């Protein structure tokens, strides 16, 4: 019995040494300690949520003017689409003079809304149209263009007012008010909304594309009935065939 006692004492004495070395061994192996709240509760690592998906940034962390662009966002399908004017008494033609587009005739002051979810590209809050000046760049008067998350640019012009907070880079939802119907620009003193559908192209200043390159009437017919016909495929096909052409020599139309 006496010969085994010293061995037991040496074994017990090793335990405190191993306990002291444990944190050092853990650090050397790269095992970080769990994040803990001041009270000692566990905190999820930054940027993760349940299931390991990246956490969405807080609204305050999104820079002003940030939003999808042609190079950074993949077009989506199945988005809701709504008629661009919120009014009961409306009329429009299936065709338009000089180029594809539609004039939606409705009383001045009726709300103009976003056709689908997307990001505002351009806003004109000042009517710079002059009959003596060049036709084209300022024909639309007060206007708004929207890049839908479906990859399509939607344009509305001749507005009487632009809604507060609607600026380039602003995110909007389908049905959100953008402004009100008017007769600014080259509207021939008739209250209406000029509505155009096109690819984004430069996204700024390309009025000859922005005013419309595919006929909108069949999409308007669908949206007015509560349908969801999507123009993305037709717009993409037009873009593949034509690219982003240069400005025409003459403006034409009311845009």
SS3 content of the chain, % helix, strand, coil (to 5): 20, 20, 60
User: In this predicted model, what pLDDT tens digit does every residue of 4-38 receive, in sequence order?
Assistant: 444 444 444 444 433 344 443 344 434 333 333 33
Residue 74, pLDDT score: 84
Question: Domain residues of the chain, as ranges?
Answer: 75-242
pLDDT at 226 over 80: yes
Closest CA to 218 of 230, 206, 209: 230
pTM for the model: 0.72
Q: Which has the higher per-residue pLDDT, 147 or 51?
A: 147
Cα separation, 199 vs 88, in Å, equals 29
Cα separation, 203 vs 210, in Å, equals 8
Q: Are 36 and 43 in contact (CB under 8 A)?
A: yes
Report the run of H or E that residue 253 belongs to, with start and end. Answer: none
CA angle 178, 182, 188 (to 5 degrees): 140
Q: Are 93 and 220 in contact (CB under 8 A)?
A: no
How large is the average pLDDT for residues 225-246?
97
Residue 209, pLDDT score: 97
Closest CA to 123 of 169, 183, 60: 169
Residue 11, pLDDT score: 42
Cα separation, 101 vs 157, in Å, equals 11
Q: Which CATH architecture has domain 75-242?
A: Distorted Sandwich (2.70)
User: In this predicted model, what pLDDT tens digit does every residue of 162-201 receive, in sequence order?
Assistant: 999 999 999 999 999 999 999 999 999 999 999 999 999 9
Residue 255, pLDDT score: 80
Residue 230, pLDDT score: 98
CA angle 193, 152, 114 (to 5 degrees): 45
pLDDT at 49 over 90: no
């Amino acid at each position: 019995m006496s010969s085994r006692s010293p061995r037991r004492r040496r074994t017990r004495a090793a335990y405190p040494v191993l306990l002291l070395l444990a944190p050092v061994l853990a650090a050397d192996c790269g095992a970080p300690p769990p994040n803990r709240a001041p009270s000692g509760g566990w905190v999820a690592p930054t940027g993760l949520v349940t299931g390991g998906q990246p956490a969405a940034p807080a609204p305050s962390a999104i820079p002003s003017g940030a939003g999808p662009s042609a190079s950074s966002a993949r077009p989506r399908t199945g988005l809701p689409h709504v008629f661009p004017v919120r009014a009961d008494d409306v009329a429009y033609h299936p065709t338009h003079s000089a180029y594809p587009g539609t004039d939606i005739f409705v009383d001045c002051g009726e709300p103009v809304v976003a056709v689908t979810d997307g990001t505002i590209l351009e806003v004109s809050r000042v009517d710079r149209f002059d009959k003596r000046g060049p036709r084209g760049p300022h024909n639309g008067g007060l206007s708004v263009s929207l890049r839908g998350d479906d990859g399509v640019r939607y344009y509305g012009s001749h507005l009487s007012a632009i809604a507060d907070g609607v600026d380039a880079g602003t995110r909007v939802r389908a049905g959100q008010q953008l402004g009100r119907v008017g007769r600014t620009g080259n509207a021939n003193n008739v209250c209406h909304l000029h509505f155009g559908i096109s690819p984004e192209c430069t996204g700024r200043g390309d009025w000859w594309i922005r005013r419309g390159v595919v006929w909108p009437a069949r999409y308007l017919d669908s949206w007015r009935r509560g349908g969801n016909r999507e123009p993305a495929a037709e717009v993409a096909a037009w873009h593949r065939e034509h690219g982003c052409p240069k400005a025409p020599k003459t403006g034409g139309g009311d845009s």
